[in-house]
Amino acid sequence: MHARLVYAGCLVLWLILSALAALSIASRSLLGAEQQFNSQLQQLTEQLKQRLLTNETILDSYATFSSVDHRGDGRQNHPFVSQLLRRYPQITSLARVERVPAGQAATYSHALQLDYGLAYRLRGFDEKRPLPKQEAYFPLTRAEPPSQANLRLVGRDIWQQPQLREALQENINSGRTALSRQLRLPPQGDPGYALLRSVDDHQNDQLIGLLPQHFAMLFIRADSLLPTDIALPPGMEINLRHRDDPLQPQSGISLRLGDAHPGALEKLLFPRLETSQLLGGTSQPLRLTLSWQQGWAQIGWFEWAVWLSLSLLLGLGLGLAGFSFVRSSDNRRQREQQLFHLANHDRLTGLANRNLFYDRLQHAITRLDRSGKRLGLLFLDLDRFKPVNDTYGHVVGDRVLQLIAARIRDVVRNEDTVARIGGDEFVILMEDIESNREADKVAARLKQAIQMPYQVDHHRVLVGVSIGIAYYPEDGLLIDELLAVADRKMYGNKQSPSRQSENVG
DSSP string spanning 383-404? ES-HHHHHHH-HHHHHHHHHHH
Mean of all residue pLDDT scores within the chain: 84
pTM listed for this prediction: 0.55
pLDDT of residue 207: 44
Q: Does the pLDDT value for residue 370 go beyond 50?
A: yes
Handedness of CA 26, 28, 29, 33 (dihedral sign): positive
Mean pLDDT, to the nearest integer, of 388-394?
Answer: 89
Residue 282 pLDDT: 83
Residues paired with 278 in a beta bridge: 287
Q: What does the pLDDT average to over 348-356?
A: 90
Residue 206 confidence (pLDDT) = 44
User: What gap in Å lies between CA 390 and CA 180, rounded to an integer?
Assistant: 114
Separation between Cα atoms, residue 56 and residue 457, nearest integer Å: 114
Which of 206, 196, 222, 166 has the alpha carbon at shortest distance from 56?
196
Neighbours of 243 (CB within 10 A): 14
H or E element that contains 279: strand 272-279
With CA atoms as reference, report the closest residue to 425 among 480, 504, 364, 483.
483
Maximum CA extent, the chain: 149
Q: Is 245 helix (H, G, I), strand (E, B) or coil?
A: coil
DSSP 20: H
CA–CA distance, 361 with 304 (Å, rounded to integer): 66
pLDDT higher than threshold 50 for residue 503: no
| C-alpha–C-alpha distance, residues 360 and 363, integer Å | 5
Number of helices (H), then strands (E), belonging to the chain: the values are 14, 20
**C-alpha dihedral sign at 28, 34, 39, 45:** positive
| Position 185, amino acid | L
The DSSP H or E segment spanning 450 is: helix 436-450
Same fold, 56-224 and 354-504: no
Q: Which CATH number fits domain 354-504: 3.30.70.270, 3.90.930.12, 1.10.1040.10, 3.60.20.10?
A: 3.30.70.270
| Predicted confidence band of residue 73 (pLDDT cuts 50, 70, 90) | low
What is d(CA 105, CA 86) in angstroms, rounded to the nearest whole number? 35
Per-residue buried b or exposed e for 284-302, using 16+ beta carbons within 10 Å of the residue's own CB: bbbbbebbbbbbbebbeee
More reliable by pLDDT, 256 or 356: 356
Kindly report the backbone phi and psi dihedral angles of residue 246, in degrees, each rounded to the nearest multiple of 5, phi listed first: -75, 175
Which CATH code, of 3.30.450.350, 3.30.2090.10, 3.90.1150.10, 3.30.565.10, is assigned to 56-224? 3.30.450.350
d(CA 446, CA 381): 12
Quick check: 1 pLDDT over 60?
no
**Mean pLDDT calculated for residue range 146-163:** 87
Domain locations along the chain: 1-29+315-340, 56-224, 354-504
Question: How far from chain centre, in Å, is Cα 80?
Answer: 58
